Structure 1
Amino acid sequence: MNKTQFAIAAIIGSGVLAGAGMIYLQNYAGWAELSSLEVGEVQLQTLEGGELEAIIAENVKGLDTVQDGVRLSGDLSFRACFTTPQSLAMLTETYVIADNAEPLTTVGWFDCYDAREVGQAIETGEAVAFRGMENISYGVDRMAAVFPDGRGFVWHQLNACGEALFAGDTPPETCPDIAEFEQTGAED
């Protein structure tokens, strides 16, 4: 092998290694499955009073970028799947329906959660999206969607406050004061 062939092989080899490393970092590094205890209760906002109330959630599985209690990336990485015996009719009569739900995608190996399927089902009315905790962290809301067969999905998404913050704009007047929020944490 002459010098030119060796240089070409070295460039191609380093490119392949870099690509494999990026795929690993994007899809595996830092991601961890969460137990039902780590996920916690699936809570939805009630129509009366707007308080959070836990629904019956079984077979709960979660995913996040938290390791040893330390968040490795932003608040938008959380996802969860569950099943509930509660009927969709009862849920829609009791909890706030979210009109702006947009499930976020996640790593492919977390196979219980398919954001495209959930998003399409919400758009067609097959599944119903509900509001969970508003401002679970500043500008981020917890959302949930439930199918008629009882399958449920949870994710975090930006609200108007978060969208303004990340765009560098002034948050709407309805947003909590960010300095106060950071001192007190999420609203209960």
Structure 2
Amino acid sequence: MAQNITGKIMVAFIVVTALFAGGLLYYTQVYAYYYEVTATGTDDVQLTGMVSGLPETILYEDFRAIDADSSPIRYRACFTTPSPADQLRDTYKLYPGAEPRVAPSWFDCFNAEAIGEDLAAGRAVAFTGQRNITYGIDRVVAVTQDGHGYIWHEINECGDKAYDGTPLGDDCPERE
């Protein structure tokens, strides 16, 4: 009889511990490390110019962003712009193969699946915001035809090489 009660207590302890650990893991992934980015109001949304090769600020409003110090690819932002995507296409560098990263569900202005569908259907255009904003990480900016914009970070080819240990090659910048 005592062994039966001891076994039930052990199972209950394991289940409660697993539930607690699972809840803690969920909280840390979805909430704990993120913080809201304070907008500067002057240079939050930049695209790399075709002529200058440098990030240039575009007109924007309603800027919201989140970031986390735990990973360079956790940055997400949303904004609106009066500049049509087609006009921007003529002036700024495109970012081929852009794939938006999923944002936490509580950051409701950023829906990676919908942004990806808009990019695939041609309703949005992806631009290079800034190459190597952090070594091996590019800032990508997508603008839809109706003026909604989204920003996220992607690992570029140099980042892929750096993180998997492949020799970097001549086309990658020096690491700082």
TM-score (normalised: structure 2): 0.92
Which of residues 38, 49, 52 in structure 1 aligns to 2:52? 49
Number of residue pairs aligned between Structure 1 and Structure 2: 173
CA distance in 1, matches of 2:131, 2:161: 16
More displaced 10-residue stretch of structure 1: 35-44 or 84-93: 35-44
Q: 2:43, 2:57 within 8 Å by CA — same for their partners in 1?
A: no
TM-score (normalised: structure 1): 0.87
Deviation readout 1:127-181 (Å, 9 max, x if unpaired) = 1000011111111111100011110000111111101111110113111122xxx
Shift of 1:86: 0.8
1:175 and 2:172 aligned: yes
CA distance in 1, matches of 2:41, 2:32: 19
1:32 and 2:35 aligned: yes
**Could you say which residue in structure 2 is the equivalent of 1:119?**
116
Matched letter for residue 46 of structure 2:
Q
- Provide structure 2 residue ranges, at least 5 long, that are not aligned to the other structure: none
**Could you say which residue in structure 1 is the equivalent of 2:8?**
5
Q: 1:165, 1:171 within 8 Å by CA — same for their partners in 2?
A: yes
CA distance in 2, matches of 1:32, 1:120: 27
Shift of 1:92: 0.9
1:96 and 2:74 aligned: no
Matched letter for residue 125 of structure 2:
V
**Could you say which residue in structure 2 is the equivalent of 1:79?**
76
CA distance in 1, matches of 2:156, 2:59: 26
CA distance in 1, matches of 2:38, 2:174: 33
Tell me which stretches of 4 or more aligned residues in structure 1 moved more than 4 Å: none
CA distance in 1, matches of 2:56, 2:42: 15
Structure having the higher strand fraction is: 2
SS of residue matched to 1:23: helix
CA distance in 1, matches of 2:43, 2:16: 45
Q: 1:144, 1:155 within 8 Å by CA — same for their partners in 2?
A: yes
Identity of aligned residues (%): 36
CA distance in 1, matches of 2:166, 2:132: 18
Shift of 1:116: 1.3
